[in-house]
Structure 1
Amino acid sequence: MVSVDPQQLIQSWIAEYGREDVNAGWFLVGRHALTKPEHGAFHLVTASGEDTTYTFAMLDEMTARIAGGLRDLGVEAGDRVAALLPKGLPLALTALAAWRLGAIYVPLFTAFGSEAVSYRLTDSQARVVVTDQANRHKVPEGNRAVVVVEPSPQQSQDQSFEALLRASSFRTWTARKGSDAMILLYTSGTTGQPKGVVVPIWALAAFEAYMRFGLDLLDLQEGDRFWNMADPGWAYGLYFGLVGPLLLGQETLAYQGPFDPEQTMQLLKQHRITNFAAAPTAFRAMRASDLGPQDTVLRVLSSAGEPLNPEVSTWAEEVFGIPIFDHYGQTELGMVINNHHMSALRQEVLPGSMGVAMPGIKAAVVDDDGQEVPRGCVGHLAIDVKASPLFWLSGYYRAPERTQERFTADRHYYLTGDDANQDIKGNFFFSGRSDDIILSAGYRIGPFEVENMLMTHKAVAECAVIGVPDALRGESVKAFVVLRDSYQPSSELEKELKEWVRQRLAKTAYPREIDFVAVLPKTPSGKVQRFRLRSR
């Protein structure tokens, strides 16, 4: 395969996944269960050290039963099935069973608070949500079935996940069109509620391209083992921690314990991981732990989610003997600009560069009028839609106006919302976020959601949220709060506001710093001037 033209491969993947009679679950499990049933597929390691590998044959059998149980709950092709679950087998089975039925999977991050969960469930019109006891209280009552892993006796109205595993098997794979949706994943922005990204089945062509070109899996090597640390409640973890490896028939590792640098090193060695991907936050934490050179079998290290500090990659070469390659993507795109690991595409990695456009994608830097700027000039990072056969985004879910905002008037370019510049050799360099998205520990945090949640507290009159530099997380959330007249600033109120957001929105999105101010800087039209807040 290495000698094959990447463009030919891309066209073959588009043709395969874009047919009129396809099923996402078949591509991830069904076909592999026929050709290599005993091959490891999903490798689960718990915090207590329990170690279980599930083969493709096992996933085939279990997803057939879960699909049968979901069908008994009324799920049909095109319905939405949500999961509010941590990394683990129930999450993987829920997604795979939904796809087997031809349904659409809606991932929910477990750090979300009740309001964030409620909005996504309501907007997606999910027919079923699968969760566990720890997160059940976040799921509001509604016209949907709730399936709970090990449900408590007090929740007699809930369905049991274990009961679904005993349901009559749904042995078929519901045929869908390649243009039909397989995932509805919500992202955050600065000017409104979270947006639903509709991921069609044929986007698997773009996912395979990144796995093959970006992560050097064009020719799988004997003993290759993949571990993507990102949470599958977000795009990178779902697209390339769960979907991507299974798409290639590759074993993927899921670790259920909390992140710890020393434990991570131990897992890399113990499970002989060859291909490791994580956010820069994880690499920075490992660097801060002062671990010396490590004896691993790693051959590929990748970073995504936020800009990678050059000194972190230098550290990796000292510790692992190989550099970390930075990659760029979005929920709406998958990965599109990479320092590619594939030997035929590999080139010198420049400090601070996120790489070049992936085959099948044409990226550009444009000005406010949608015209490409000269090389070396900063502008808006964009994707040339017509020149990018792997561009799969059709629009946001039930939001045509918000979809229109992300394209130039002639729909020639999709605007990522990020600013960048490109050198003469095609390398892209990240400059900033034109829409004020905060990138913290690999998570994209929309200031609007945080501000909206702060405003629900009785003490808050006004607020504005920005991202500030953080040595570990890349950025952290900082809030400027104007209090109502009857309240006074205090350390107790600061703690209360932090916990207010942490519990109701997300553990990853609460403000780690709060400044109480008398007024917020604004334009004559009343818009908050965030640049002035950043200069304080």
Structure 2
Amino acid sequence: MKAPYELSYQQFDSLQATQAVLGEDLLSVNVAQLCCDQHVGSDRVALRWRSEQGAAEDLTFEDLKQRSERLARVLSDRGIGPGDRVAGLLPRIPELLLTVLATWRLGAVYQPLFTAFGPKAIEHRLATSGAKVVVTDSLNRQKLDNLNSAPTILTVAQRGSAVQAGDVDLREAMNSADPGMPPVARSADDPFLMMFTSGTTGPAKPLYVPIRAVVPFAGYMRDAVGLRNDDRFWNIADPGWAYGLYYAVTGPLLLGCATLLYDGPFSVESSLKVIRDNDINNLAGSPTAYRLLIAAGSDAVSELKGQLRVVSSAGEPLNPEVIRWFSEHLDIVVHDHYGQTELGMVLCNFHNLDHTVTPGSAGYPMPGIRLAVVDEDGVEQASGTPGILAVDRQQSPMYWFKGYEGMQSRAIGEKYYLTGDAAVQNANGSIKFVSRADDVITSSGYRIGPFDVESALLEHDAVVEAAVIGKPDPLRTELVKAFVVVKPSVNASDQLAEELKQLVKRRVGAHAYPRELEFIDELPKTPSGKIQRFVLRKKELSV
């Protein structure tokens, strides 16, 4: 029987919810203890690891505890302590999860680095965070070759090979490390993650996530994802991004539930195999992944009918046709969820709470969060009137974002945090996502800041100016399109276009390179010289 959804945020007992997750002493908490140590003794599997090559390993909470203690000792011996940043540039292998837990065990702060990032994106994040240690593997090690700073590098070497000179062989160091490393006590307001979120007017912005954020993380897993102890859960998202780190790692482990990491590229065939072979019944992913499954046809996916209990969607708006297809062919309802790196998930259709699901709606606010639709002056709008989706900070006990480090956050006075996304509130209290109000591009579930792509394009000697937009795409939601102005003496050829695409792929990442590139004579600008990307977007829509 589902619990009812209470529309009033005032009925939410924030103290009870916090103590249920963190305990009564909010000055003595540790995330490794919450996500690992407290579940030891249950003999439950914590991590199911599967690889593209067919390798597999199941680790219990006891396994994670013992191994993360040894890795914590390795980090401690290299000067890592409370508040220090440890960066992870790792694929989805067991050492990724061990690095995260070992960092938390020391009271330190974990900083994710997506493996598709190029050297420029990595260097910006490492320089900004001041990370003392980077944990990587042999395949990604070369991206750290030319860093201006010199953090200690721990490398997960390929079997039978040596690490680069000057690096620490992580597995070898763990094998020789002393066991036993008790968790370091921290307060609920101390950070345990350092994240970066893409922006439109500058480099990716840094923010800290405080330990108290795990309370709404746990609530999201329980109420929205509907996670149960006996579920076979898979969140397809990469832990190099917020949704994967918050809800493929932190969230399920908090609840003492197993999570699955698949080390391999996404494809319809591999995804169906993972779901089938591991009897997955609780699935979370992006609409892009679900659209690819749909494209494979009902025959390819029909074998999953009756296996999946619940399916959740996040990262971009969920298309109605995806909901209809899953209902018709798999007899399952896909629920849409909305959030940001700065907030976690705050607007959901809940699998485990009883409420009316309004077609086209992203759902209702998370318990402990009050959302409002406001205009640019902070005046709340009536039902049916579009505006900016905002969090009422003064009446949201589960709100935890304190702002970007050294930068101003979107806010109106002390009351509202502005998401930057346009929405409409329905008469029944549900909220419909309309569009992004900024220029961030959502492609295949990734949020891509135009600034990073444009900066990479401008590194080429032939380029004078560049502007990047998201072009509507039925499969990826948006694809990255670049408009480039070159020097008069340069031949704007197909060869140059391909060269520029490859430059971005190398410098920023394979997820962010422009799949389309158009040479133009000049970019549309305001009188003050700012590029008008909306003019370019309108041009694409009119084609």
Q: Which moved more, 1:264-273 or 1:291-300?
A: 291-300
Q: How far apart, in 1, do the equivalents of 2:258 and 2:163 lie?
A: 38
Q: How far apart, in 1, do the equivalents of 2:330 and 2:312 lie?
A: 13
Matching of residue 280 in structure 1 with residue 283 in structure 2: no
Q: Could you list the per-position Cα deviations for residues 234-291 of structure 1 after superposition, in whole angstroms to 9, with x for gaps in the alignment?
A: 0000100011110000011111122121332232122111210011110000111113
Aligned match of 1:366: 374
Aligned match of 2:17: 13
Task: Give the counterpart of 2:182 among 166, 172, 180.
Answer: 172
> Partner of 1:242: helix, strand, or coil?
helix
Q: How far has the Cα of 1:359 moved from its partner?
A: 1.0
Task: Give the letter aligned to residue 468 of structure 1.
Answer: K
Aligned match of 2:466: 463
Task: Give the letter aligned to residue 436 of structure 2.
Answer: R
Q: How far apart, in 2, do the equivalents of 1:3 and 1:363 lie?
A: 21
Q: Could you list the per-position Cα deviations for residues 453-487 of structure 1 after superposition, in whole angstroms to 9, with x for gaps in the alignment?
A: 11111111001111011111110111110001221
Aligned match of 1:311: 321
List gaps (5 residues or longer) in structure 2. Answer: none
Q: How far has the Cα of 1:10 moved from its partner?
A: 4.2
Q: How far apart, in 1, do the equivalents of 2:4 and 2:134 lie?
A: 43
Aligned match of 1:233: 240
Matching of residue 258 in structure 1 with residue 265 in structure 2: yes
CA contact (8 A) 2:66 2:180 kept: no
Cα distance change, pair 198–302 in 1 and its aligned pair in 2 (3 A): same
Aligned match of 1:51: 56
Matching of residue 376 in structure 1 with residue 379 in structure 2: no
CA contact (8 A) 1:112 1:506 kept: yes
> Partner of 1:93: helix, strand, or coil?
helix
Aligned match of 1:339: 349
Q: How far apart, in 2, do the equivalents of 1:421 and 1:464 lie?
A: 30
Task: Give the counterpart of 1:39 among 35, 40, 44.
Answer: 44
Task: Give the letter aligned to residue 354 of structure 2.
Answer: L
Task: Give the letter aligned to residue 514 of structure 1.
Answer: L
CA contact (8 A) 1:133 1:149 kept: yes
Aligned match of 1:182: 192
> Partner of 1:386: helix, strand, or coil?
helix
Task: Give the letter aligned to residue 407 of structure 1.
Answer: A
Matching of residue 202 in structure 1 with residue 212 in structure 2: yes
Task: Give the counterpart of 1:321 among 308, 328, 331.
Answer: 331
Q: How far has the Cα of 1:9 moved from its partner?
A: 6.1
* TM-score, structure 2 as length reference: 0.94
Aligned match of 2:408: 402
> Partner of 1:191: helix, strand, or coil?
coil
Aligned match of 1:243: 250
Q: Could you list the per-position Cα deviations for residues 65-114 of structure 1 after superposition, in whole angstroms to 9, with x for gaps in the alignment?
A: 00000011111111000000111101100000000000000000000000
Q: How far apart, in 2, do the equivalents of 1:347 and 1:341 lie?
A: 11
Task: Give the letter aligned to residue 75 of structure 2.
Answer: L
CA contact (8 A) 1:280 1:442 kept: yes
Aligned match of 2:201: 191
List gaps (5 residues or longer) in structure 1. Answer: none
> Partner of 2:362: helix, strand, or coil?
strand
Matching of residue 496 in structure 1 with residue 499 in structure 2: yes
Aligned match of 2:112: 107
Q: How far apart, in 2, do the equivalents of 1:527 and 1:64 lie?
A: 51
> Partner of 2:206: helix, strand, or coil?
strand
Aligned match of 2:480: 477
Q: How far has the Cα of 1:13 moved from its partner?
A: 3.1
Q: How far apart, in 1, do the equivalents of 2:319 and 2:94 lie?
A: 34
Q: How far apart, in 1, do the equivalents of 2:452 and 2:428 lie?
A: 39
> Partner of 2:250: helix, strand, or coil?
helix
Q: Which moved more, 1:288-297 or 1:411-420?
A: 288-297
CA contact (8 A) 2:216 2:398 kept: yes
Task: Give the letter aligned to residue 240 of structure 1.
Answer: Y
Q: How far apart, in 2, do the equivalents of 1:450 and 1:361 lie?
A: 34
> Partner of 1:95: helix, strand, or coil?
helix
Cα distance change, pair 321–3 in 1 and its aligned pair in 2 (3 A): closer
CA contact (8 A) 2:357 2:363 kept: no
* TM-score, structure 1 as length reference: 0.95
Cα distance change, pair 154–46 in 1 and its aligned pair in 2 (3 A): closer
Identical amino acids, percent of aligned pairs: 46
CA contact (8 A) 1:478 1:514 kept: yes
CA contact (8 A) 1:70 1:164 kept: no
